[in-house]
A and B are shown apart, each in its own frame.
Chain A
Amino acid sequence: MDHALFERKSEFEWRIKPFGKMRVPGVIFASEALLREMDAKVYEQVTNVAMLPGIVNASFAMPDAHWGYGFPIGGVAAFDADAGGVVSAGGVGFDISCGVRTLLTGLHGEDIDAVKMRLADALYHAIPAGMGSTGAIRLDAAEMDAMLKGGARWAVERGFGTAADLERIEEGGCMKGADPAQVSDQAKKRQRDEMGTLGSGNHYLEIQQVTDVYAPEIAAAFGVQAGDIVVSIHCGSRGLGHQIGTEFLKRMVLAAPGHGIELPDRELACALINSPLGQEYLGAMRAAINCALANRQILTHLTREVFAKVLPQARLPLLYDVSHNTCKVEEHNVDGRLKKLYVHRKGATRAFGPGHPDLPRELRDAGQPVLIGGSMGTSSYILAGTEAGMQHAFGSACHGAGRAMSRHQALRNWNGRHVVDDLAGHGILIRSPSMRGVAEEAPGAYKDVGAVVDSADQAGLARKVARVVPLVCIKG
């Protein structure tokens, strides 16, 4: 993008002055280099979001922003219900509450060297991944509703994990206000065989090693040291979330004109928060958040079972679980006053700063762990929320590397088998049912996650704590 389109507020903050029907400015956080490479559609989408009713402060985009549907991926926008604010299915995305969790293991590189291959094969066997895979758990109608109301708490009550896990999940593992009655039978049916499955695309389960620590004090509070082995899981609300997204996107597209909402783009489909449709979506979307939390909890349990067989001395406590496709009610300081806002983060991670009451006691001084996934051959990062970030973009940061090219283009550039062999040469074991899928997810098809994270750190959105690299990657 041409940086002349922006007013440069600081080295990493680019502002679009309101014009036309924009109610607030647009703000993109990125280095000049990332901004130059950013899709021009991001500019258009950031300005479009700024036109929505009830938007507060600004329409934000994170350093990994790219073209999404309606809202950009990497978009953050908060709405005030009392000022005619809206909730948008396109502002959350199809994969509701897609997110990342990281488990500590207490192990070091030398502990797993001899069993790495065995771990890779055992995890690949235990974790259902890719299209056509099914989970071992079937829920009847009553259990489905209990899961949609209870989230990870439901999973723990059923024996998948421990109560200590819940402390380390946003919302204590259970999103309040979920309304299973707003989730269609079709969405529930689509989830029937998918509890405890990883999915496909950019979703993964990785064994990783911490290579660098940038903020030792925060890393110590997180229980992370250089050389440590950790496990990260990236996935979302599976078929249920996709179906809810599909159904409500359509309902909002059809209903918007009747609500007097003028949409600059059909994909910005939204409903007034204080409307039946808005409330129905919030009830269904929160149920999907619980589905994602329950799903990641079950995958955690399956992972622990594998480690218990291969490395029985290992315990796998949860460092933290973040969701990066959500709309959540939060209190934020607006012009010196605390206000209740509906914060949409689409491909953006919540990043609460030190002292926030929603953080577990042991992490409260350090700030919220912000888990950023890279591509399968490159680094992932652990960051921490900052006080400055609370002021910048409602306590939000980036979520990943973001694609640099389409799947089609990646398929032309790489051969899946060669990618697997090449990564094996670098000590990274890939397990996937589809070599085409691997080619489409080749590390080179993604942007440099390091540059994205550096921008988030230098813009003050979140602080860089540690870098991890993959040793084993299970791909759908």
Chain B
Amino acid sequence: MRGLGATLEQAFEQAALALTAVITDPADVAPREMLRLSCEAPDAELLLVDWLNLLIYQMATRNLLFSRFAVHLEGSRLTAQAWGETVEVARHRPAVEVKGATYTALKVAQQPDGGWLAQCVVDV
């Protein structure tokens, strides 16, 4: 999945949205409840994997899907809010469950146009 944004934060938010899109159409996921999440990693690429794995864990253990994100980065620390709702199989028809984010094709970088890219492969 690949997130593109004007800022690094936006690229991380878009990558999270792409994670939901692997499972279901994010437009069908209502932002009914909000979770506060945080993680820390030595570099931006490892932080992206941690961020996605944090969401995967919350989806798996709370039976949630997310559709809106607000990411804040400060050095090696990420704090975020994620909005979503409980999975309803009949309505969301989830195509797959995601096992984990991997270090394959992992890249977090500023683009020539000044925007940011955040990408990696997820295992389903």
**Given contacts A131-B23, A200-B124, A434 and B93 within 8 Å (CB-CB):** yes
Let me know if B53 is at the binding interface, CB within 8 A: yes
- Residues from chain B with a CB closer than 8 A to the CB of A436 are 24, 93, 95
Q: Is the CB of A266 within 8 A of B89?
A: no
Stretch from B29-37, B74-82, B96-104 contacting the other chain? B96-104
Known contacts A249-B103, A267-B102: A407-B46 contact under CB 8 Å: no
A190 CB contact (under 8 Å) in B42, B57, B123: B57
Q: Which of A109-117, A169-177, A239-247, A463-471 contacts B (4 or more CB under 8 A)?
A: A239-247
Q: How far is the CA of A245 from the CA of B101 in the complex (A)?
A: 10
What distance in Å separates the Cβ of A255 from its nearest Cβ neighbour in chain B? 12
Chain B interface extent, by class: 20 to 34
Let me know if A437 and B103 touch, CB within 8 A: no
| Interchain CB contact under 8 A, B96 and A69 | no
Q: Would A132 and B63 be within 8 Å (CB), given that A69-B104, A250-B50, A435-B93 are in contact?
A: yes
A94→B99 contact, CB < 8 A = yes
CB of B96 within 8 A of CB of A200, answer yes
Total contacts A-B at CB 8 Å: 101
The answer for the CA separation of A316 and B30 in the assembled complex, in Å, is 44
Collect the chain B residues with CB atoms within 8 Å of residue A440's CB.
95-96
User: Is A8 interfacial (CB-CB < 8 Å)?
Assistant: no
Q: Is B106 an interface residue (CB 8 A)?
A: yes
Q: Which residues from B are CB-within-8-Å of A200?
A: 94-97, 124
Q: Closest Cβ of chain B: how far from A421's Cβ, in Å?
A: 17
CA distance A277 to B95 in the complex (A): 35
Structural contact, B102 and A131, CB atoms closer than 8 A: no
**B34-74 residues at the A interface, CB under 8 angstroms:** 42, 46, 49-50, 53, 56-57, 60-61, 63
Interface centre among B63, B93, B94, B96 (most CB of A within 10 A): B96
Residues of B within 8 A of A132 (CB): 63, 87-89, 92, 94
- Cα(A132)–Cα(B64), bound, Å: 8
Assembly CA distance A476 to B23 (angstroms): 12
The answer to whether A267 and B103 have CB atoms under 8 Å apart is yes
Instruction: Write out the residue numbers on chain A whose beta carbons fall within 8 Å of the beta carbon of B123.
Output: 69, 93-95, 242
Q: 24 A–B contact pairs at CB < 8 A?
A: A68-B104, A69-B103, A69-B123, A70-B104, A93-B123, A94-B102, A94-B123, A130-B94, A131-B87, A192-B61, A200-B95, A239-B61, A242-B56, A242-B100, A243-B57, A249-B100, A254-B42, A267-B102, A269-B103, A407-B95, A434-B95, A437-B95, A437-B96, A476-B97
3 cross-chain pairs, A with B, having the tightest CB-CB distances, nearest first: A132-B87, A131-B94, A131-B97
